[in-house]
Amino acid sequence: MTTGTFDVNKVRQDFPLLNQQVNGNPLVYLDNGATSQKPQSVIDAIVSYYTTTNSNVHRGVHTMSQQATDHYEGARTKIRRFINAGEDHEIIFTRNTTEGINLVAHSYARQNVGPGDDIIVSNMEHHSNIVPWQMVCEEKGANLKVVPIDDNGELLMDEYEKLLSPRTKLVSITHVSNALGTILPAAEIVRLAHAQGAPVLLDGAQAVPHMPVDMQALDCDFYAFSGHKLFGPTGIGVLYGKTKYLEAMPPFLGGGEMIKSVTFEKTIYNDLPYKFEGGTPDIAGAIGLGAAVDYVTNLGFDQITAHEEELLRYGTEALNAIDGVQLVGTAPHKAGILSFVMDKAHPHDIGTILDEQGIAIRTGHHCAQPVMQRFQIPATARASLAFYNTKEDIDALVKGIDRVIEVFS
């Protein structure tokens, strides 16, 4: 299948893992919301780092250490450009989205939220954008306010506006829902919060693999994402923060790298971004993520988005046409996520029967139990797309679902 000049079969050749059999069938990988596969260029960048450059960063005068530092810092610059942040030092390397959100909870919210204050989240957050705020609220006597959603899985913006007040100390909302696929009106969410003087963290874990994100256009104050969902390695993530907030925030982890000088009387913290990067970082991970960003940039989001939109349309029509299958998450503005339930089969059984046919999806609550409660279901089966998926993958999914119906009839 070719969309414009986008040749998906050629793209697939860059992803060695996709070309294998699982349970005697060609692998159909539809679990990109959980983690994405890696192009050869990312694998090569990591292998090359370990075979030629491996050294610790920011501390050696020797040549290899300087090269490692250049590559690590080069990756930071690539990521800054990728999300159109203003400054390299606004890019903090973390382990993943979860760590980025916890960093903000620890170093921003715990300093700025007091008794009777509010933190606002939505009804469709991943647990990693709920639990850290619950912990802060419990500790500080603050309230966690939840913006409700409608039956399509869209945020109720008028309810959001009603929740905002001078007591709002932080809004932390997902950019794209992992369980439903909804793309939220992030810039508008930020604008309304700022009008009340509240900063906004956007959870970009499910957004960055699918669409261009622009820190200047969004004007959010923090943005967190994971490398592994963006075709990079596990163990590396990014927290973007505006300089004015990061400067004022105390460190998250104390130790090496994050200091300028230490005596037993007084420690002077390092400048940004190192203040937030205590300990030896995931150097290879950052370099791998830099290569992933290069890969995605070379493909281009025009092509990626067009291809994924076409797949989503095709998949939505195909699933809607099957009797006994119901999509959960039907917002008009969606990323490539097809969450569904079936009349007769439990999601876990759906996942198991699909796996027998080499089709990888995720089943369960997707670490978003409150959204399951909102739809009064315990779980869904979720096919989540990436740019390397094809209409044939969707056809295989449909055939797999037909098999589930056969087994349960």
Burial class (CB in 10 A: 0-12, 13-18, 19+), 55: middle
* Residue 68 or 136 having the CB closest to ligand 7TS: 136
Least Å from the CB of residue 127 to ligand 7TS: 8
- DSSP E strands, 251-393: 259-262, 267-269, 325-327, 337-342, 359-360, 362-364, 380-384
Contacts of residue 279, Cβ cutoff 8 Å, sequence gap at least 6: 253, 255, 256, 257
At position 20, the amino acid (one-letter code) is: Q
Is 308 in contact with 8 (CB distance < 8 Å)? no
Look up 367 and say whether it is catalytic. Answer: yes
Helix axes 347-356, 391-408, angle to 10 degrees: 120
Omega cis (within 30) before 185: no
Least Å from the CB of residue 350 to ligand 7TS: 16
Contacts of residue 44, Cβ cutoff 8 Å, sequence gap at least 6: 291
Beta partners for residue 122, in sequence order: 147
Retrieve residue 223's tokens. 């943005």
* Strand pairing class (337-342; 325-327): antiparallel
Least Å from the CB of residue 321 to ligand 7TS: 26
What DSSP line would sit under 207-270, residue for residue? TTTTS---HHHH--SEEEEESGGGTS-TT-EEEEE-HHHHHHSPPSS-SSSSEEEE-SS-EEEP
Annotated catalytic residue within 183, 367, 385, 396: 367
Least Å from the CB of residue 44 to ligand 7TS: 23
User: CA angle, corner 377, sides to 371 and 379, nearest 5?
Assistant: 80
Is 371 in contact with 123 (CB distance < 8 Å)? yes
* Residue 210 or 366 having the CB closest to ligand 7TS: 366
* Residue 31 or 221 having the CB closest to ligand 7TS: 31
Least Å from the CB of residue 234 to ligand 7TS: 8
Least Å from the CB of residue 178 to ligand 7TS: 3
Burial class (CB in 10 A: 0-12, 13-18, 19+), 279: exposed
* Residue 163 or 367 having the CB closest to ligand 7TS: 367
Distance CA 129, CA 99 (A): 10
Least Å from the CB of residue 225 to ligand 7TS: 8
Binding site for ligand 7TS (CB under 6 A): 33-34, 96-98, 126, 128-129, 174, 178, 203, 205-206, 226, 362, 366-367
* Residue 69 or 178 having the CB closest to ligand 7TS: 178
* Residue 223 or 295 having the CB closest to ligand 7TS: 223
* Strand pairing class (362-364; 25-26): unpaired
- Among 367, 382, 332, residue whose Cα is nearest residue 124: 367
* Residue 205 or 404 having the CB closest to ligand 7TS: 205
Measured from the Cβ of residue 355, the count of other Cβ atoms closer than 10 Å reads 16
* Residue 68 or 224 having the CB closest to ligand 7TS: 224
Least Å from the CB of residue 182 to ligand 7TS: 11
Residues annotated as catalytic (active site), given as ranges: 367
